[in-house]
Amino acid sequence: MIVLTADQVASRSGVDLAGTERDRLQQAYGDHLRLPVARNAGDEIQLLTSEARVVVDVAFELIRSGDWSVGIGCGGVRSPLPDDIREASGTAFFAARDAVERAKKSSPRLAIEAADPGAPHVEALFKLALILRERRSEQGWEVYDRIVAGALQSDIADELGVSAPAISARMKSANIRAELEAVPALAWLLENLDASTGATE
């Protein structure tokens, strides 16, 4: 099982985002989670899933905003599961706690913990992808958001009032194709990392 714990950056001096983000994630990903997303320890949110792709997508969204430190923990979860994630326990939760504390001191603000020697290697690849995303321009994000929503390049060009070659140039500069190809690979690596640690306790 995979636990994602996110801690809001500078929560004491900024607007409280935990409740809003908890609700957004529940609405977007609730069908793929083992328990409802919960707000934990004031400025944290936490989710539990067995779907690695969901974790990749959520982590990328949270890191993109710049408002969160994200810890990913793989490992066992005690069964039966309670109704509230805040009452759940297991090595995946402990790993996520260690990961988010480390993520607070990391750049990008993401860390992965698992009782497997491959965890640092998986984390390194996640960070490489995140660094490429950090360098994306606003124009690159304009194209990216439309591509992942299912738009065709020709339609994006028409919508933005630019030529099709200009959209292709933006995609290349923003490394969009490379990211879209890398995300399933990252999910596969995380899934295998999780599988090596066991799903229940």
Alpha carbons within 13 angstroms on the beta-carbon side of residue 174 total: 20
pTM for the whole thing? Answer: 0.93
Residue-wise pLDDT for 20-62, tens only, equals: 999 999 999 999 999 999 998 778 999 999 999 999 999 999 9
Q: Quick one: 84 exposed, middle or buried, by C-beta within 10 A (0-12, 13-18, 19+)?
A: exposed
Contact 147, 86 (CB under 8 A): no
Q: What is the structure's pLDDT at 40?
A: 86
The Cα–Cα gap between 123 and 174 comes to: 22
Q: What is the structure's pLDDT at 124?
A: 97
Work out the percent of the chain whose per-residue pLDDT is above 90: 92
Mean predicted confidence (pLDDT) in 146-155: 95
DSSP states along 153-176: HHHHHHHHT--HHHHHHHHHHTTH
Q: What is the structure's pLDDT at 197?
A: 87
Neighbours of 95 (CB within 10 A): 26
DSSP code for 152: -
Structure tokens at 124: 């390194």
Q: Which residue has the tokens 């083992």?
A: 34
DSSP code for 200: B
Q: What's the topology of domain 2-133+179-195?
A: Alpha-Beta Plaits (3.30.70)
